[in-house]
């Protein structure tokens, strides 16, 4: 069984955050979202729209597909 897409996206966001040596608070501030909202994304609890994924990817400086494809 494959992992739900929002779980994959959350793991990718978390991996990018850790590579940048940022806390959730630090990345949330960079992205202009609350820490609670970012934590929900990382846990795969947030059901983001495609527009939100595009915007998040742009803010993170990656292609949108990098957030939804498990490495």
**CA–CA distance, 68 with 57 (Å, rounded to integer):** 10
Segment 45-60, tens digit of pLDDT: 999 999 999 999 999 9
What is the domain partition of the chain in residue ranges?
A: 5-63
Q: Please give the angle made by the CA atoms of 67, 16 and 7, to the nearest 5 degrees.
A: 45
Just give the CATH number of 5-63: 1.10.260.40
Could you tell me which of 16, 3, 10, 8 has the C-alpha nearest to residue 43? 10
Residue 18, classed as helix, strand or coil, is helix
DSSP characters over 30-51: HHTS-HHHHHHHHTT-----HH
Prediction pTM value: 0.90
Segment 19-39, tens digit of pLDDT: 999 999 999 999 999 999 999
């Amino acid at each position: 069984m494959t992992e739900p897409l929002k779980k994959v996206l959350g793991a990718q966001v978390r991996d990018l955050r850790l590579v940048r040596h940022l806390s959730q608070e630090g990345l949330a501030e960079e992205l202009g979202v609350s820490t609670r909202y970012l934590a929900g994304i990382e846990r795969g609890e947030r059901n983001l729209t495609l527009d939100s994924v595009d915007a998040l990817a742009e803010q993170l400086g990656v292609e949108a597909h990098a957030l939804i494809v498990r490495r």
